[in-house]
A = this chain, B = another copy of it.
Amino acid sequence: MDIRKRFGKKLRALREEQGWSQEEFADRAGLHRTYVSAVERGVRNPTLSVLERLAKALGVSIEEVFKGL
């Protein structure tokens, strides 16, 4: 599975651990819901700055988001 798909699955799992909808997660990260949805499906290629926003919204480090990927 390519890195975008693996990352998307991991991101979705981390979001679901928080009990958040995609909309809530997107709002917390300052991103659009459709963008978060596309990242979770592995169809977007997020930049480093977006990775940081996603990790911050989840309250974890970027390292933590990539753990085990």
Contact = CB atoms under 8 A, between A and B. Distances in A.
A47 interface: yes
Stoichiometry, as copies per complex, reads 2
Contacts of A3: 48-49, 51-52, 62
Contacts of A63: 63, 66-69
Interface in A6-61: 7, 45-49, 51-52, 61
Interface of A: 3-4, 7, 45-49, 51-52, 61-63, 66-69
18 contacts: A3-B48, A3-B49, A3-B51, A3-B62, A4-B48, A45-B48, A45-B49, A46-B47, A46-B48, A47-B47, A48-B51, A61-B69, A62-B66, A62-B69, A63-B66, A63-B68, A63-B69, A66-B66
